[in-house]
Amino acid sequence: MKELLVLDNVSCGYKSGFYINDINFSLSEGIFAGIVGPNGSGKTTLFRGISGDLSLHKGAVYFEGKDFSELSLREKAQKVAIVSQFTEVADITVEEYVLMGRMPYRKQFQFFDKKEDVEIAHHYMHLTNTYRLKDKSMAALSGGERQMASIASALTQNPRLLLLDEPTSHLDITHQVRFMNLIQRLNEELKLSVMMIVHDLSLAGEYCDYLVMMKNGRIFEKGNPVEVLTYENIEKVYETVVVVETNPVSGNPVVFPVSERRMKEFVEKTKP
């Protein structure tokens, strides 16, 4: 399959000290990829390096074979859309906010939204169940609703790759699963490639084709969920005891935490 995104020995970070280093992986077109790793391991920094928000200290990011840093802002926005963890919101309506996703397609001196842009925005608002909030102010939405409006806005950009920074963090389990199913459908039906930062390892295992596991600014492991989500890898990276089982329906790995007390009892019971 064609390679969409290639990270070649990427290093980037902040003057104050934190850097991600030696990042190498490639994503094929149509992939649903996940980034996992503990708090502070560099997942968001990696996203910022890919999008060009942070300049690279070393290495390069290639998108469809071209050096991504050499594309114009407009070209970048037509290829990659990012939904970040904390969306800053102005006091504008949900519809106005979602329509902002069409900016990269506006012609110079085009001051009004074209009918086609409004249709595209409404289509994605229906898909994300945010059309009902169309006239509400972004500032008056719940965290989960705001996240869905951000997704709608990102989709109206018609990107080739959607980068999602912890999109399920504000959602209850019903909405988490609904959201992941929606992204899975978009991935399959629109051939939209997706890379998502996911904290819930079982969700990552169930939905992603490919995982990159980060630790202290480096890739600890990459591959399919079965290769990456082993209890040995998780214990080394998260310094937490877990049990990994196989989901009987999907065959994907499911990760269970084990409390300190139960672990002690288990060790006592199984002592020879």
Ligand X SMILES: Nc1ncnc2c1ncn2[C@@H]1O[C@H](COP(=O)(O)OP(=O)(O)OP(=O)(O)O)[C@@H](O)[C@H]1O
List residues binding ligand X (CB under 6 A).
Answer: 14, 16, 18, 37, 39-45
* Dihedral of alpha carbons 141, 146, 148, 149, sign: positive
CB of 45 to ligand X, least distance (A): 3
Identity of the residue, 169 or 224, whose beta carbon is nearer to ligand X in the bound complex = 169
| Distance of alpha carbon 81 from alpha carbon 160, whole angstroms | 8
Minimum separation from the CB atom of position 138 to ligand X (A): 22
Helix H segments across 163-217? Answer: 173-189, 201-207
Find the shortest distance in angstroms from Cβ 104 to ligand X. Answer: 25
Considering only the C-alpha atoms of the chain, give the largest distance between any 2 of them, rounded to a whole number of Å. Answer: 79
| Smallest distance from ligand X to CB 200, Å | 12
Q: Is 183 helix (H, G, I), strand (E, B) or coil?
A: helix
**In whole angstroms, what is the distance from residue 56 CA to residue 61 CA?**
9
Cα 200-203-204 angle, rounded to 5 deg: 85
Q: How far apart are CA 77 and CA 22, in angstroms?
A: 26
CB of 13 to ligand X, least distance (A): 7
Q: Nearer Cβ to ligand X, position 18 or 266?
A: 18
Nearer to ligand X, 40 or 223 (CB): 40
Environment class of 8 (CB within 10 Å of its CB; exposed 0-12, middle 13-18, buried 19+) = middle
Tell me the closest approach of the beta carbon of residue 126 to ligand X, in angstroms.
31
Q: Which is nearer to ligand X, 85 or 93 (CB)?
A: 85
Angle formed by the axes of helices 143-156 and 115-127, to 10°?
140
Question: Considering the complex, what minimum distance in angstroms separates the CB of residue 173 from ligand X?
Answer: 20
- Number of separate helices (H) and strands (E) present in the chain: 10, 12
Q: Decide: 217 and 45 in contact? Cβ < 8 Å.
A: yes
Q: Residue 45 or 202: which CB sits closer to ligand X? A: 45
